[in-house]
Chains A and B, each alone.
Chain A
Amino acid sequence: MTTLSHKPASARPIPNPERSLITRLNMGTGTVVGVLFAAITYYLLRHHFSSPWRHNHGMDMTNTHFVNVTLLSTMLAWSFGFLVGIGALIGPFRWLIGKDLTAEEQLYLAGDGQGIKRYFKYCTDHKVVGIQYLVGVMVMLGVGGTMAMMIRTNLATPGSHFIAPVVYNSLVGLHGITMIIALIIVSTGPFGNYIMPIMIGAADMAFPRLNALSWWVLFTAIPVLCSAWFLGGIPTGWTAYAPLSDQAGPGMNAFLATIIIFALSTAVAGMNITTTVVAMRAKGMKWNRVPIFVIGATVSVALAIPAFPTFMVAMIQTSLDRTISTGFYDANVGGSGWLYANLFWIMGHPEVYVILIPGVAALMEIAPVFVRKPLFSYGAAIAGFAGIAGLSVLVWAHHMYMSGWMPSLNGPFMITTEFISVPTGLLFLVLVGTLWRGKPWMKMPMLSVYAFIWDFLIGGITGIYLSDVPADNYLHGSMFVTAHFHYTLMGAALTGAIAALAFWFPKMTGRMLNDRGSYISFWLIQIGFNVLFLGMFMAGAAGQPRRVADYAQAFAHANLISTIGAYSVGVGMLVLLWAVVHSWRSGVIAPMNPWGSKTLEWTVPYPVPLVNFDEPPVVTSDPYNYGRSVK
């Protein structure tokens, strides 16, 4: 990508604001105020109302509904209190009273000249938010991955008692929701925040304060979700189907609060990223010159904006059933579990593509750089993303074929689901066309492109089996389904995100990712991944149900194979973690553009200046004109 003007940013003066409240707030004060709010809420609910009042209204601590009220309110109070304590609400409050933040205060909030401290503050610099997301995602993947290892260890042999069945159920639920949240943000969080604004030539995100808010809101959900462990766990799996979730123990409140908080964070982040891309592109960056990763990330978050509120509604309705005895999902009082299933999957299937698209888009960004060829058919890539996004809202009921809901609609939903393989095929076409007759530079990001094609081909084709009503009749609820969605989510989204990490690591840290570590981790993860989930396909096709702590002897070999694969993935992830930490601390210093890429982020030095560009860049060509330009 050619820029007409680009000068290195000059050093900015370090702001020296008065010692106002803003300068005293950080993660510590947030935690203190959050805990204080939670404690006060808990105390008030337990002790404020007099005993006779509570008894008359059926609200005593022997009543599970009142326990749920107390816990849910306490968790939400923690979240709100943390945001107050870290200073997230100062901006809106100051706007309310007509005393806007001064330029100095805004510069202070941007973290200028504050070193490592800014990572623990309400910092509005998009690069800081990107790093916060990156570390947060790594922690979540670590926790979710550890739970996966425990699950696979329990399933290594039939009759294993490594984990008690009740704990196993909770593990499956917590693993599921932790990984789903981590994968939703795994690309758009770190790279959508750090890299994307620079890629489009913007000085910042459209709404820097909301950008920080989206991260810190999400952050408050992490301890809430962790608290489920101490409240009896989540026995429903991540889908939290009603009426199981209505009847589940106190741990379910943690799940509900987490999703409500997460949905708020997603709406804010989605709005911010979409606005930034639509309204803040550099001069000359027409839509057909926008890097494909930016397009993918935008499609993903734009899809999330309408999708996640329905999930939030489902969670709020569950909360109301559990706290004040409404009956959304209780057939005795006019409710229906099918209502939950519909609301959940209206969000649930678009969410798969919210996860998938940024990972694929990152790999499309990487492929032209490493084969030194233009991206094959940019238009087909856009059509693929648009087609997937459009169709994804019309396929939700394929998750409900066997539920008995509207059997007459099974046929139409089968057709829409199978039809979605057409735009998905376009994505393959773009990648294969880009690689065709290229001379690939086989660095780790490029290896991931090949891995994705293999993994996602398996994930996609097995998805066609599952979209078919007769085949789903047999395979539904089996390990085959589990293997299928891991091939799509892990094989595409996580593979893409790891490739993106290796690709943009030099720009985000100023250092190269350790080559040997990244190669070793790549092969351990990819070989282990295929062993793990091909084994799981075997078990599923033979009839092993999913979400069970034990199984028949007939499935023993397939499960042992899967567990061996899982250990390989686990070791590979540890090697990757070592490579990231080691390289970040003492890796080889990276040049400004180690891959010879033509997108704008490689034209700025490390550390990237606060406003990214001293002068706004002017774009005069497309970002993939390697050798010859795309007409």
Chain B
Amino acid sequence: MATHTEFHVHHDSPEKVGRRERLGVRLLIVADGSFLFAIIFSWFYLRNLNENNAWLPKGVKTFSTASSWWVIVPFIIVFIAHRISMKNRSLRVPAMALSTVLLIVGAWYQWHQVCNMPFVAQDANGRPFYNGGYASNWIIFAGTNMFHYIITAFITLGLFLRGLRGNLLDPVLEEWRQRVAGSWFTWVMIGGILSAFTTSIK
């Protein structure tokens, strides 16, 4: 029984299950997209309001535009790697291995940025605070990227390990899951580009 690993009480076809999973993931992407929309809204709202001229107070340093884009490069590579691996099955395992490594590197780089934020000041009591609307908003974009890194790395690692073990499930369903993962990879790339674009506008 160990090989009969998938239990569908109503014995739906793998195509049906696959289409269902794709719809579910796309709905979750809608939710995640709404989250991203809300933080982009926050960015432009506070930037344009520029309350007390404190969006970027005088003397506050920012991250370079390039660093906003460097941090999302792994998402783009993962997307491309996945597309290639969908066309060439023999590349799936190495593509997912590479993707996992790149995502870990990307997450590390994002963490490195968080640890070296140039806009954290200290108040009269020596306590740190985020100086300006830009600084506040930047941290939530970094958090969102980090969330995407963790989820995406979980998926690529899973696909890699499953690929190593061979086809565990019905191969048709496994194929569908590769495609469903592609929906997520596409989304995190688009989300990453939107984030980088937004944080480039200071």
Contacts and interface: CB of A to CB of B under 8 A. Distances in A.
B104 interface: no
B35 A610 contact: no
Interface residues of A, number: 67
Nearest to A104: B1
A102 B16 CA distance: 20
A211 to B, nearest CB: 11
Interface stretch (A182-190, A224-232, A332-340): A332-340
Given A96-B154, A96-B157, A267-B31, A325 B165 contact: no
A334 B54 contact: yes
A274 to B, nearest CB: 6
Contacts of B31: 267, 270-271, 305-306, 308-309
B198 to A, nearest CB: 14
A309 B35 contact: yes
A343 B41 contact: yes
B168 interface: yes
B20 interface: yes
Contacts of B16: 279
A613 to B, nearest CB: 8
Q: Interface residues of A: mostly helix, strand, loop or mixed?
A: helix
A98 B161 contact: yes
A310 interface: yes
A103 B136 CA distance: 48
B128 A332 contact: no
A313 B42 contact: yes
Contacts of B123: 58, 325
A102 B136 CA distance: 47
B79 interface: no
B34 A336 contact: no
B24 A335 contact: no
Contacts of A336: 45-46, 49, 51
A14 interface: no
A611 interface: yes
A59 B167 CA distance: 51
B64 interface: no
A101 B5 contact: yes
A326 B135 contact: yes
B130 A310 contact: no
B141 to A, nearest CB: 12
Contact of B136 (A274, A308, A333): A333
A312 B35 contact: yes
Given A327-B133, A334-B136, A103 B4 contact: yes
A465 B56 CA distance: 42
A3 interface: no
Contacts of A203: 9-10
A19 interface: no
A320 interface: yes
A325 to B, nearest CB: 4
A331 interface: yes
A306 B158 contact: no
Which of B2, B42, B122 is packed against the most chain A CB atoms within 10 Å?
Answer: B42
B61 interface: no
B177 to A, nearest CB: 9
Which of A99, A335, A343, A610 is packed against the most chain B CB atoms within 10 Å?
Answer: A335
Interface string A189-227: 000000000000011101100100000000000000000
A611 B9 contact: yes
Nearest to A274: B27
B136 A327 contact: yes
Interface string B160-177: 011011001100000000
Interface in B107-133: 122-123, 125-133
A280 B42 CA distance: 38
Contacts, number: 191
Nearest to A313: B38
A331 B54 CA distance: 8
B34 A309 contact: yes
B45 A327 contact: no
B132 A313 contact: no
Contacts of B154: 92, 96
Given A57-B128, A320-B140, A335-B136, A102 B46 contact: no
Contacts of B126: 56, 58
Contact of B127 (A58, A272, A278, A610): A58
Interface in A586-618: 610-611, 616
A106 interface: yes
B44 to A, nearest CB: 11
Contacts of B161: 96-98
A102 B1 CA distance: 7
Given A98-B164, A327-B136, A332 B130 contact: no
A354 B95 CA distance: 42
A95 B158 contact: yes
Contacts of B140: 313, 316-317, 320, 326
A279 B161 CA distance: 30
A92 B132 CA distance: 40
A332 B54 contact: yes
Which of A102, A278, A334 is packed against the most chain B CB atoms within 10 Å?
Answer: A334
Contacts of B73: none
A58 B135 CA distance: 19
A370 interface: no
Contacts of B42: 313, 317, 328, 339, 343
A317 B156 CA distance: 30
20 contacts: A58-B123, A100-B168, A105-B7, A271-B27, A275-B24, A306-B33, A306-B34, A308-B31, A317-B140, A324-B130, A325-B128, A327-B133, A328-B137, A332-B54, A333-B131, A335-B136, A336-B49, A342-B45, A610-B9, A616-B10
Given A203-B10, A333-B57, 5 more contacts: A98-B158, A280-B20, A310-B34, A325-B123, A339-B42
Q: Sorted from nearest, which 6 A-B pairs have the closest CB atoms?
A: A58-B127, A334-B133, A334-B54, A203-B10, A106-B7, A325-B129
